[in-house]
Amino acid sequence: MEEDLIDPPLLEELGIDVDDIMRHIKCVLLFKSCQNGELQYADFTGPVLILLALALSLLISCNLNFSLVYIIEVLGTWFMYLLLNLTSQDVYIDMTKTAIILGYSLLPICLTPLIWIFARFMKPLAVILIYLCVGWSTSTASRLLTQVSHHDTK
């Protein structure tokens, strides 16, 4: 009788898999090679949290361009989705997978406003670190997208 009264945890009810979010973040941060079966692309919680972290870091750096960042994210995801599906003839990639991969790949970009704050007086160092974060984000997105589209075997 008491087993019927016990509700499952809230994260489980909402379908949020914290372990999967941590696997995605480790894949991005550690350049870890992840298998396709290991990662699931059904939960938008991780990318939304990363976009909120980007918004918070922009707010801390007094750079209030939220709408521009989100418009670029939506348009970039849409164009990447079109490009991936036009170039891969045998594999269809969902819009949700593309959005989730590009959302997780924004994690290094969240550091750029903070780098600009702390290295403001050493502008060459700040620019180099920001370029490294952008390269890190780009390489992560391309690696994960090639794994999903199976272009790594061609």
Is residue 153 over pLDDT 60? no
Closest CA to 148 of 86, 87, 84, 77: 84
Domain boundaries, the chain: 44-153
pLDDT of residue 77: 92
pLDDT of residue 38: 60
Is residue 25 over pLDDT 80? yes
Of 30-44, 51-65, 131-145, which has the strongest mean pLDDT? 131-145
pLDDT of residue 151: 59
Q: What is the pLDDT of residues 84-120, one digit of tens each?
A: 888 877 888 889 989 999 999 999 999 898 888 888 7
Q: Which residues of 116-139 are buried (b: 16+ CB within 10 A; e: fewer)?
A: beebeeeeeebeebbeebeebbee
Q: At 75, is the pLDDT very low, low, confident or very high (cuts 50, 70, 90)?
A: very high
Q: Where are the alpha helices (DSSP H) in 6-122?
A: 10-14, 18-29, 45-60, 66-87, 95-104, 112-118
Give this prediction's pTM: 0.83
